[in-house]
Chains A and B, each alone.
Chain A
Amino acid sequence: MSFESIKNISLYIIQRIVLTIIALVVLSFITFSLSYIVPGDAALVAAGPSAGKEKIEQLRVEMGLNLPFYEQYFVYLTKLSRGDLGKSWFTHQPILNDIKDLLPASAELVFFAMLFNIIIAIPLGVLAATKRDSKTDFSIRILVMIGAGIPIFWLGLLLQHFLASETGLFPIAGRLSFSNRNFEGSTGFLFFDSVVQGEWGVFWDSIWHIILPAFTLSVLFIAVITRTTRSTLMRALEEDFITLARSKGISEYRVIIKHALRNALVPTVTILGMQVGWMMGATVLVEEIFGRPGIGKYAVKAVTQSDIHGVVGVVLIVGIIFIFSNLIVDIVHLFLNPRLRKNSIGNL
Chain B
Amino acid sequence: MKKLLLLLFVFYSTSIFAGTRGTLYIAENETPENLDPANATNSTVDQLLVGVYDALVQFTAGETTVSPRIAKSWSVSEGGKKYTFNLRSDVRFHDGSKLTAEDVKFTLDRLVAAKGNTMNDLAFYKGAEVVDDYTINLLLSAPFGPFISGLSRIYIMNKDLVKPNLGDDNGRSWLAVNEAGSGPYKVTKYKPTEEVVLEAFEGYWNGWSGNHVSKVVFVYISEPSTQLALLKSGDVHIAPDLTVDDKVDLKGNSDFKVDIGAAATPLYFQLNTQGKKLMQNSLFRKALVMAFDRELHLNQVLRGFGNMPDGPLPSNWPGHKKGTEAGFDLSSAKKIINENGWAGTRLLVRYLPAIEEEKRAVEQFQSNLKKIGITLDTEGMTWPSQAATVQKLETTSDINMIYNFPSFPDPHAILNTSFNGKLTGYNGGYNWAQYSSGKVDALLDQAASSSDQNQRAKLYSKVQQMVGNDHVVITVSNPGSVVVMSNKVVGYKYNVAHHQTFNYMDIGLK
Answer whether A50 and B223 are a contact pair too, CB < 8 Å, given A172-B229, A305-B384.
no
Nearest A residue to B235 via CB reads A178
Interface membership of B193, Cβ < 8 A: yes
Answer whether A306 and B385 are a contact pair too, CB < 8 Å, given A47-B115, A49-B428, A178-B230.
yes
Q: Are A92 and B176 in contact (CB under 8 A)?
A: yes
Q: Which A residues are CB-close (under 8 A) to B226?
A: 172-174, 291
Max count, chain B CB within 10 A of own CB: residue among A44, A47, A181, A303: A181
Interface membership of A252, Cβ < 8 A: no
Q: Are A93 and B176 in contact (CB under 8 A)?
A: yes
Distance between Cα atoms of A303 and B382 in the complex (Å): 8
Q: Are A90 and B428 in contact (CB under 8 A)?
A: no
Distance between Cα atoms of A92 and B33 in the complex (Å): 9
Nearest A residue to B194 via CB reads A181
Answer whether A181 and B388 are a contact pair too, CB < 8 Å, given A52-B115, A93-B176, A165-B225.
no
Partner of B115, one of A41, A55, A92, A304: A55
Partner of A92, one of B34, B219, B382, B388: B34
Q: Which B residues are CB-close (under 8 A) to A306?
A: 382-385
Answer whether A40 and B388 are a contact pair too, CB < 8 Å, given A90-B33, A91-B34.
yes
Distance between Cα atoms of A50 and B384 in the complex (Å): 12
Answer whether A293 and B193 are a contact pair too, CB < 8 Å, given A91-B176, A305-B384.
yes
Distance between Cα atoms of A92 and B171 in the complex (Å): 11
Query: Chain B, 63-90, contact with A by CB distance < 8 Å: what is the 0/1 string?
Result: 0000000000000000000000000000
Nearest B residue to A105 via CB reads B193
Measured between C-beta atoms, what is the minimum distance from A174 to chain B in Å? 7
Query: Chain B, 178-204, contact with A by CB distance < 8 Å: what is the 0/1 string?
Result: 000000000000001111000000000
Distance between Cα atoms of A14 and B118 in the complex (Å): 58
Q: Which B residues are CB-close (under 8 A) to A48?
A: 115, 117
Distance between Cα atoms of A101 and B31 in the complex (Å): 15
Query: Chain A, 163-203, contact with B by CB distance < 8 Å: what is the 0/1 string?
Result: 00100000011100011011000000000000000000000
Nearest A residue to B425 via CB reads A49
Query: Chain A, 278-303, contact with B by CB distance < 8 Å: what is the 0/1 string?
Result: 00000000000001010000000001
Partner of B383, one of A50, A92, A303, A305: A305
Distance between Cα atoms of A138 and B500 in the complex (Å): 57
Distance between Cα atoms of A24 and B387 in the complex (Å): 35
Distance between Cα atoms of A190 and B117 in the complex (Å): 39
Answer whether A44 and B388 are a contact pair too, CB < 8 Å, given A173-B225, A303-B382, A305-B382.
yes
Distance between Cα atoms of A182 and B117 in the complex (Å): 33
Interface membership of B221, Cβ < 8 A: yes
Max count, chain B CB within 10 A of own CB: residue among A101, A174, A306: A306
Q: Which B residues are CB-close (under 8 A) to A17?
A: none
Answer whether A181 and B219 are a contact pair too, CB < 8 Å, given A45-B384, A305-B383, A305-B384.
yes
How many A-B contacts if CB must be within 8 Å?
A: 75
Measured between C-beta atoms, what is the minimum distance from B246 to chain A in Å? 12
Max count, chain A CB within 10 A of own CB: residue among B235, B389, B428, B429: B428
Q: Which B residues are CB-close (under 8 A) to A90?
A: 33
Answer whether A172 and B225 are a contact pair too, CB < 8 Å, given A49-B387, A181-B219, A306-B385.
yes
List B residues 338-394 near A (Cβ within 8 Å): 354, 382-385, 387-389, 391
Distance between Cα atoms of A182 and B192 in the complex (Å): 12
Measured between C-beta atoms, what is the minimum distance from A34 to chain B in Å? 15
Q: Which B residues are CB-close (under 8 A) to A22?
A: none
Q: Which B residues are CB-close (under 8 A) to A181?
A: 194-195, 219
Distance between Cα atoms of A285 and B346 in the complex (Å): 35
Measured between C-beta atoms, what is the minimum distance from B11 to chain A in Å? 23
Nearest A residue to B386 via CB reads A306
Distance between Cα atoms of A47 and B117 in the complex (Å): 11
Answer whether A178 and B219 are a contact pair too, CB < 8 Å, given A50-B117, A52-B428.
yes
Distance between Cα atoms of A304 and B120 in the complex (Å): 25
Q: Which B residues are CB-close (under 8 A) to A52?
A: 115, 428
Nearest B residue to A307 via CB reads B384
Q: Are A92 and B384 in contact (CB under 8 A)?
A: no
Distance between Cα atoms of A41 and B120 in the complex (Å): 22
Distance between Cα atoms of A179 and B217 in the complex (Å): 13
Q: Are B225 and A92 in contact (CB under 8 A)?
A: no
Q: Which A residues are CB-close (under 8 A) to B34?
A: 91-92
Max count, chain A CB within 10 A of own CB: residue among B36, B226, B354: B226
Q: Which B residues are CB-close (under 8 A) to A182?
A: 194-195
Q: Which residues of A contact B (CB under 8 A)?
A: 40-41, 44-45, 47-52, 55, 90-93, 101-102, 165, 172-174, 178-179, 181-182, 291, 293, 303-306
Known: A48-B115, A50-B428, A173-B226. 4 other contacts (CB 8 A): A48-B117, A51-B428, A165-B225, A291-B222
9 A-B pairs with least C-beta separation: A306-B384, A291-B223, A40-B388, A173-B223, A92-B176, A49-B387, A173-B226, A178-B235, A306-B382
- Could you pull out 20 A-B pairs where Cβ atoms are within 8 angstroms? A40-B385, A40-B389, A49-B384, A50-B117, A51-B115, A91-B192, A92-B176, A93-B173, A102-B193, A179-B235, A181-B195, A182-B194, A182-B195, A291-B221, A291-B226, A304-B354, A305-B382, A305-B384, A306-B382, A306-B385
